[in-house]
Amino acid sequence: MSKESADKKVGLDRSFGGLVRTDLQSGIPVETFYSPRDVAHLEYEQDSGDPGEYPYTRGIYPRMYRDRLWIKSFIVSYATAEETNQAFKDNIASGQTGLRCLADLPTQSGIDPDHPSAWNAMMCGGVSTYALSVYERMLEGLPLEDVDYELAHSSISSALMFYGMFPALMENQGLDIARLRGANINDPFRARLVYNTPEWPNEINRRICLDLVEFSARHTPKWKAIAPNGVDPQQTGANVIEELAGCLGVATAVYGELIEKRGVSLDDIGATVFSLDAESDFFETIAKFRAARRMWARIAKEKLGARTPRAMSLRIGIRTSGMSLTTQKPLNNAARVTLQILSCVLGGVNSLDASSIDEAIGLPSLEARTFNLDAQHIVTHEANVPMVADPLGGSYYLEWLTDHIEKGVNDYLAEIEAHGGMWNCLESGWLRKNIEASRMKAQLEKRDRKRIIVGVNAFEGEGGLINNAISDTAYKVPTEEDRRRNVCALQELKQRREPRKVKDTLTELFRAVKEGRNVVRPTIEAVKAYATIGEVVGVVRLGYGLNYDPFDAVDRPAFLDELR
């Protein structure tokens, strides 16, 4: 038989394109079908309950999306504050209901645009947000009260600085900061495991994280000052068990210390938010969301002493997997994103940040963002998926899988405790080692075609005009002239601000650090004085006896010489 005839035969054989595995993406083996026997040990009231009832497996509200749809949120952060402001307004017109902010990489590393290490990455992947003046331009014309803002920054220094900008803006405008609403990732474990930015060591990250949660619970109760993050660990390589165990472990460690050392109870904080990933494995993703709510309700009640239903309920904000998107045949990303959106709605999430179909190529275009939102509108208004709370509840397979994930996560949490707890596992590298092992396993599966990525390692085919058009929409990085203008704007800000006010507020921040007081209010006052991210980070470092600059490349400003 000729090669051409053989190829035709394979193409017509019904086994062509068949399944290559019998386990889920995280390695959970599954049977051909499930029956009542597989869930006979589960009790409805104890393990599921009605929507809106403990343990919230089926969702945290009785009527779920009939009363309130999920927040449609995604990161909007282009090179300049003005571009980002316009993008916010355009996306709101298309149906965006949550505003998520991000900064460029130098900012997230705690340095200013004029730092020697800032140039190459400046204004890439986010706004160069060095001071309050940038937020004033970026949020011009947008409401600050009773609007959901989310801060997606990688580092704890960014969590502090950019949370501080909201109360600063609101107080400058005579608004009530108690009406600030939203969430801040502020996860010291994710900051070290995934990004390892250099500005502060774990000791400082741990303290600032607690300061933020304590201050917010007392002054901005609608703001969730920590959202343990599983998105980035999973996209770094963690499997579903490691992702969910990590979030539960972070929340337990941080809240446990807050209760013990700060006198803030879980009931004072209210509902908890987890930032989780939505991968392409459809049922595994849905079961993960259900298991997360159930496990958190039990931990909050039994370990952390929560008494109110609100404190036992978990709100889930998700980011659909950017790592699942491909540069090859990017039109396929439309199917991936749509299915991931559907899994989130069926899983009862509360906030949905869906990736865009051109995101593997560059920052999303406006048209890709509109598709992202329209896909959610279609799921809502044409497919009518949200009419019923937890519509897959009672599926033998889904109930078994939810229970199986919970057991796997409990086993992993027990391993963490056996290795000394979350902080010890972070310091020793144990958490990182496990994520690396999972990442390598996934890579080998892709190499050996045991994990099919359509258009990449199977069904490659060729892209045509539509795929080429998607590739051509990639956002272009800023020019050298753009970066020079940004540095000049920083220098002009330093010239026109009030030197005495900057010095006084940074001195108070330094003293708060040295004296062990909560640093959030001093940071807000420094932000109002137009102190920069580099100055705030440097002063906190000085308070701990460290060099001013995390890269040891610049000296402290002369006006801070007195801080000893």
Instruction: Confirm whether 515 is domain-assigned.
Output: yes
**Is the pLDDT reported for residue 7 higher than 80?**
no
pLDDT digits (tens, 9 = 90+) for 170-226: 999 999 999 999 999 999 999 999 999 999 999 999 999 999 999 999 999 999 999
> How many C-beta neighbours within 10 Å does residue 286 have?
25
Q: What is 324-386 written as a DSSP string?
A: G--SSSTTHHHHHHHHHHHHHHHTT-SEEE---TTTTTSSPPHHHHHHHHHHHHHHHHTS-GG
Burial of 515 (0-12, 13-18, 19+ CB in 10 A): exposed
Confidence at 477, pLDDT banded by 50, 70, 90: confident
In a domain? residue 355: yes
Domain that holds residue 362: 45-74+234-431
Tokens linked to 502: 């900057």
| Same domain? 520 vs 394 | no
For the residues 398-419, what does the mean pLDDT come to? Answer: 98
List, for residues 292-337, the tens digit of each pLDDT value: 999 999 999 999 999 999 999 999 999 999 889 999 999 999 999 9
In the beta sheet, which residues pair with residue 181? 148
Beginning with the edge strand found earlier in the chain, give each strand of the sheet holding 148-151 in spatial order: 223-224, 181-184, 148-151, 98-101, 71-75, 351-353, 314-320, 272-278
pLDDT of residue 559: 95
The answer to which of 4-13, 85-94, 198-207, 446-455 has the lowest mean pLDDT is 4-13
Asked if residue 160 belongs to a domain, the reply is: no
**What gap in Å lies between CA 388 and CA 147, rounded to an integer?**
26
Confidence band of 74 (pLDDT split at 50, 70, 90)? confident
Residue 387: the pLDDT is: 96
Do 246 and 383 fall into the same domain? yes
Identify the domain boundary among 431, 460, 490: 431
Q: How deeply is 450 buried, as exposed, middle or buried, from its count of CB atoms within 10 A (0-12, 13-18, 19+)?
A: middle
pLDDT higher than 90, residue 345 = yes
Distance CA 135, CA 145 (A): 15
pLDDT of residue 474: 64
pLDDT value, residue 15:
72
Tell the residue number behind the tokens 């045949």, with chain if given.
329
Say if residues 145 and 175 touch (Cβ distance below 8 Å): yes
Q: Are 506 and 560 in contact (CB under 8 A)?
A: yes
Within 8 A by CB and 6+ apart from 143, the residues are: none
Spatial contact of 528 and 168, defined as CB atoms under 8 Å apart = yes
Residues 303 and 416 both lie in one domain: yes
Q: Say if residue 9's pLDDT is above 70.
A: no
Give a yes or no: residue 508 inside a domain.
yes
* Structural tokens at position 559: 């006006």
Identify whether the C-beta of residue 296 lies closer than 8 Å to the C-beta of residue 272. Answer: yes
Query: Comparing C-alpha atoms, which of 196, 245, 236, 450 is closest to residue 323?
Result: 236
d(CA 163, CA 300): 25
Is residue 6 predicted with pLDDT exceeding 70?
no
147 falls within a domain = no
Clarify whether residues 419 and 325 are in a common domain. yes
Instruction: Please say whether the beta carbons of 315 and 71 come within 8 A.
Output: no
Residues belonging to the chain: 564
Q: Which amino acid type is present at position 91?
A: N
Residue 12 pLDDT grade (very low, low, confident, very high; cuts 50, 70, 90): low
Lowest mean pLDDT among 136-140, 228-232, 365-369: 365-369
Average pLDDT score over residue span 258-271? 95
The total domain count for the chain is 2
Q: Is residue 108 part of a domain?
A: no
What average pLDDT does the segment 361-379 reach? 90
pLDDT at 72 over 70: yes
pLDDT at 136 exceeding the cut of 50 = yes
Cβ proximity of 339 and 324 under 8 Å: no
Same domain flag for 369 and 512: no
Final residue before a domain boundary, out of 397, 413, 431: 431
Which helix (H) or strand (E) segment holds residue 273: the answer is strand 272-278
- 397 beta partners: none
Asked if residue 282 and residue 394 are part of one domain, the reply reads yes
Give a yes or no: residue 168 inside a domain. Answer: no
Are 394 and 260 part of one and the same domain?
yes
Residues 409 and 536 in one domain: no
359 located within any domain: yes
Residues 417 and 542 in one domain: no
Helix (H/G/I), strand (E/B), else coil: 84:
helix
pLDDT confidence band for 13 (50 / 70 / 90)? low
Chain mean pLDDT for the chain: 93
Is there a single domain that holds both residue 426 and residue 507?
Answer: no
- Report the CATH number that the domain containing residue 404 is assigned in CATH: 3.20.20.240
More confident residue, 78 or 385: 385
Give me the pLDDT at residue 256, please: 97
Query: pTM here?
Result: 0.94
Of 39-48, 56-65, 175-184, 358-367, which range is least confident? 358-367
Q: Are residues 415 and 509 in the same domain?
A: no
Q: Which of 395, 412, 431 is the last residue of a domain?
A: 431
Looking at the structure, do residues 376 and 519 belong to the same domain, yes or no? no
Token output for 16:
């062509």
